[in-house]
Every structure is written in C-alpha cells, then in structure tokens.
Amino acid sequence: MLSLFYENLRRGAELQILLNPMLTILNIKSKIAQSPYQAYVYSYPHKTAYRLLTPPVYLPELWAQQDRQALFLYIHIPFCEMRCGFCNLFTTVSHNEDFISQYVRTVQRQAQRMKAVLGNASFARLAIGGGTPTQLPIQHLETILDIAENTMGARLQEIPISVEVSPETATEEKLKLLRSHSVDRVSIGVQSFIESEVLATQRRQSTIQVEATLTRIKETGFPTLNIDLIYGLPGQTVETWLQSIHTALRFQPEEIYLYPLYVRPLTGLGRTDQEWDDIRLACYRQGRSLLLSQGYTQVSMRMFQRVEQKQGSNLSPSPVYCCQADGMVGLGCGARSYTNTLHYSNEYAVGAKGISEILQAYIQTPDELFEYADYGFQLDPEEQRRRYILLSLLSYEGLNLLGYRQRFNSDVYADFPEFSELVALNLAIRDEDILQLTEFGIERSDTIGAWLFSEKVQELMQDYELK
Ligand SMILES: C[S@@+](CC[C@H](N)C(=O)[O-])C[C@H]1O[C@@H](n2cnc3c(N)ncnc32)[C@H](O)[C@@H]1O
Ligand code: SF4
C-alpha cells in the first residue's frame, strides 16, 4: 500500500501536467489566476508527447541534414541507490553488478554506431546525468568517460563537462576520477539540509553526510559546484527553507537550483490547496531575494549563478553550444536526442515495471537498430518556432525578436498574435528587439511555459498513458 502511495508520488509531475484540464482552454490572463505551478518546462516538447515513429527514422539521413559542429553529448545513467518519493526521472534501484556491466557495454555499442552515424561532428558540451552517474562502480564510470572521449571524440579538456552526483555516492575516488578527466561542474541533489524534510519524501539522507560530501567536492577542486534544493517539502516552512539556503551558501556554490516541489494532487505529500501554493511562492520570493543579496544572478526561475569568472573552467572552443538551435546526441536508455526536425529517445516510463522492461529491451538492442529512431516527435515549422521561443523566453537572455526573424524569416507577433498579452499583463517587457520576462513573469515561468505548448502537444500529453 505504502509503495503504491510513493509510486503515485513519483508520477506526480507528469500527472500534474497530464491531468490539468485548464491547459487547453484558458488564455494567459485566466491561467495567471491559477496555480503558478502548472508544468516544469525544461524542454519542449515534453517526452509524454513522443509516440512510435512509423516507419522508424534512419539516423544517418537525419543527422546528415543537421549542423554537427557544436553538438551536446548527453549520457544517461538510469541507476540510483534509492527512489525518492517526488522523483519522476527515468531511473531504477533494481540493478546488480552484472546488469550494470551489460548496460555500460550497450552504451559502448550504441556510441560506436552513433559515431559512424554522425561522421564528422564535434561536441561543444558533455553532460552525464541520470539517475545518479556516481552510482556506477568506479571502473564503469571510467568507461563512460572513455566512451565520451575515445569513442565519440569529445575533447574533454576543452569543453564544459557536467556530472550529476548524489551525497551518498560521490566518494573521494570517484570525484578525483571525474576531475582528472576534466569534469568542471558537479551537480548534487541535496533538496534540503533539514533531515526530517527529506526523509518525509522517502529520500534516505543524513545531513552530516551531505555536508561531508560537499566538503569533498570543494576539496577536489571543481570550478563549478551546483546544489539542487527543493521548496514545498512536507513540514518545510519559509524559515527552514532559508536555513537550508544559508547552509548551502557556506559551501560557496557557483550555482544553486531552487526547485518548487511537483507532486500528484491528493496523495498526502502532494497538496493542491492554496496554502501550498502560497508557501511555495513565499519560499521562491524569499529564496530569490537571499541569493540576489549574496551576489547571485538569476538565470531562470530555478537557476542562480555567481557571476565572477571561475578559475579552471573548461573554455568552450567556438562555436559554443546554443540550446535553442544546436543538436543533442543522447546515449544510454532514457536519453533524448534532438535535431531541428526530430526529437527522439527510448520509450518513456516512470513506474518500476515499465522502466525495467524498457531497460531490458535496451540492452538487447542489436547494433544495427541503433541506427534508427522509433520513438519521438517530429517538429514541424510551427513547433520549431515554439521551441525556440520557449527556451529563449524562459531564460534571462530573453527572446531576441531580430534573431527569431533571421532564423525563421517571419515575425513573432505575426506568428503568435497572443504574444502581445505578455507585455499587457506585465509578464514581459520589450526593450528594442529583446522580449524579456519581468520579475512577475519569471515567477510565473511554469504557467507561461505551459501556455506556449501547441494544442497538438497538449493533446498528445493528455492522451499519454503513463507506464
Ligand atoms: C537528476 S536529479 C539529481 C541528482 C541525484 N540523483 C540526486 O538526487 O542527488 C535532478 C534534480 O531534480 C530535482 N527534482 C527531481 N524531481 C523533482 C520534483 N518532482 N519536484 C521538484 N524537483 C525535483 C531535484 O532537486 C534533483 O536533485
Ligand atoms: S537519487 Fe536523484 S535521480 Fe534518483 S530517485 Fe532520487 S532524486 Fe531521482
């Protein structure tokens, strides 16, 4: 019963998006009156809008049409030591040494095929994420770095490299291995420094250990430390939230992500009441003010960054990766790949059974099938424009109207007349050719993002059957 309860929680963020009946029918003015926490838009379209591609797309032909000079290489490690109650990522706790070895060998096979598919390509960024990459035994972690460097040809010393770690798994030797391979950013999920708050989400974590791991990361000398924190946790108040941020600041992280908690309504942890929204909004505002007062700049609703030049960061050779325009090559089960016209991945699941089936199918994939995409979303010109707008507008740089015109040969206001509502409602301001969210707009990013989804994407997401 309890496991079903937490299974439901894990599905929270997805279901909150999928079941929100307001998504299609409200204009932005009505939507702003609703909860500010409608959908976390970290990419567009969401994976729940992906479907089987029939016939499968032959990747050498697809990638031949894509500019491949500044690609993002992403490697997904879908293993964790525990399944946190709030987490809806593609990851499993059911793994053993043998399965992990098979998984890493499969990533190697996939990489060899993809390298042949891509031909003359170069990578401007590398990220290893999950799940928890440091859950891998050290020899496998080393193999993953070796795949990036020697199979894919990423120049590790020259490009920004980010790896996600968790407090329990970031041992001294793994951290040293990462740094010796030029990893220059480590991102750690802390969520809260108040033990009772994380334990209430089924995340086993001791604050003493978290602090010891943060000290180890600092001592290993990564140029960028990112700390993830969550607000809206059970039992959390604005005061305890600020305590957590103050504790994080003691470690002088170059970046901090402040995530509002997303969970399914009516499950106990997930609340839908006005009070929960009010607490999250108060936490956001006070957390933001605190970070700004400590010299951080706000990059997006969730991301804050210390501005000074970081010693030892890998200088990205030009051209620099641009998330609105450049491609992403995903390796591993659960990783997404993006070209201008197609986003694709393996099938998606959040439940333990669905994830296990998809992982089994992944390790049994014959080499030649890695040259095809059979699950994804084709972006027509309208969807390409929406994606460009979403990714630009929701970050500090804003939407460059001239850049849009040059890229798409048309005008934002002609393509999306409803855009003028953003300025009228004080959600955005226009300064010459830049349209930027206001302070009010940034805190409503999750509403504005959901409002920008096309009807087609909204319908696909709502029809999606969560596994
Ligand atoms: C890949 S995980 C972090 C790495 C590592 N596995 C860990 O947990 O320490 C990325 C981050 O997303 C955030 N996150 C995941 N699910 C969330 C949810 N439902 N609501 C809010 N934040 C969430 C957490 O802050 C988490 O640290
Ligand atoms: S350890 Fe990280 S990725 Fe794994 S379940 Fe928890 S939050 Fe999700």
**C-alpha 87 to ligand 2 mean position (Å):** 6
Terminal Cα-to-Cα distance of the chain (whole angstroms) = 18
Of 234, 75, 200, the closest CA to residue 149 belongs to 75
> Is the pLDDT score of 21 beyond 60?
no
> Is the pLDDT score of 5 beyond 60?
no
Give CA separation, 14 vs 3, 266, 334, 351, in Å. Answer: 18, 14, 15, 12
- Ligand 2: residue of 87, 188, 198, 205 to mutate (most ligand atoms within 8 A of CB) is 87
What is d(CA 332, CA 312) in angstroms, rounded to the nearest whole number?
29
Question: Domain coordinates of the chain in residue numbers?
Answer: 9-45+379-467
More confident: 448 or 26: 448
Of 246, 247, 233, the closest CA to residue 279 belongs to 233
User: What phi, psi does 357 have (nearest 5°)?
Assistant: -65, -40
For residues 92-114, average pLDDT: 95
Judge if the beta carbon of residue 77 lies within 6 A of ligand 1: no
How does pLDDT run across 261-315, given as a tens digit for each residue? 988 544 456 566 788 899 999 999 999 999 999 999 999 999 999 976 456 666 5
Residue 277, CB half-sphere, CA atoms under 13 Å: how many? 14
* Residue 235 preceded by cis peptide, ω within 30: no
Q: Would you state the pLDDT for residue 37?
A: 87
Q: Report whether 162 contacts 185 (CB < 8 A).
A: yes
What is the amino acid identity at position 211?
E
Judge if the beta carbon of residue 233 lies within 6 A of ligand 1: no
Share of the chain above pLDDT 90, in %: 74
> Is the pLDDT score of 41 beyond 80?
no
Q: Would you state the pLDDT for residue 35?
A: 84
- Ligand 2: residue of 40, 132, 163 to mutate (most ligand atoms within 8 A of CB) is 132
b (16+ CB within 10 A) / e for 283-295:
bbebbbebbeeee
Judge if the beta carbon of residue 111 lies within 6 A of ligand 1: no
DSSP annotation string for 296-362: EEESBSSEEEE-SPPTTPPPPPSSPP-TTTS-EEEESTT--EE-SSEEE-S----SHHHHHHHHHHH
Judge if the beta carbon of residue 9 lies within 6 A of ligand 1: no
How does pLDDT run across 385-406, given as a tens digit for each residue? 999 999 999 998 899 999 999 9
Which residue's alpha carbon is at the smallest distance from atom 2 of ligand 2? 131
Q: Quick one: which atom of ligand 1 is closest to the CA of 164?
A: 4
Q: Is 196 helix (H, G, I), strand (E, B) or coil?
A: helix
For residues 88-113, average pLDDT: 94
How does pLDDT run across 440-455, given as a tens digit for each residue? 999 999 999 999 999 9
Q: Would you state the pLDDT for residue 95?
A: 83
DSSP annotation of 147: I
Residue 21, CB half-sphere, CA atoms under 13 Å: how many? 0
Q: Would you state the pLDDT for residue 321?
A: 61
Give CA separation, 309 vs 305, 333, 350, in Å. Answer: 11, 35, 39
Q: Would you state the pLDDT for residue 65?
A: 95
> Is the pLDDT score of 319 beyond 60?
no
Q: Report whether 231 contacts 284 (CB < 8 A).
A: yes
What is d(CA 25, CA 27) in angstroms, rounded to the nearest whole number?
7
> Is the pLDDT score of 323 beyond 80?
no
Q: Would you state the pLDDT for residue 445?
A: 95
Question: What residues does 226 pair with on adjacent strands?
Answer: 187, 255
What is d(CA 438, CA 269) in angstroms, rounded to the nearest whole number?
31
**pTM for this entry:** 0.92
Give CA separation, 313 vs 27, 170, 175, 305, in Å. Answer: 43, 20, 16, 14
Of 436, 429, 339, 350, the closest CA to residue 396 belongs to 436
Question: What residues does 344 pair with on adjacent strands?
Answer: 337, 376
Mean pLDDT of the chain: 89
Judge if the beta carbon of residue 437 lies within 6 A of ligand 1: no
Element (H, E) at 112: helix 97-118
How does pLDDT run across 348-381, given as a tens digit for each residue? 787 888 899 999 999 999 999 999 999 999 999 9
Q: Report whether 119 contacts 42 (CB < 8 A).
A: no
- Ligand 2: residue of 9, 86, 91 to mutate (most ligand atoms within 8 A of CB) is 91
Element (H, E) at 107: helix 97-118
Which residue's alpha carbon is at the smallest distance from atom 5 of ligand 2? 83
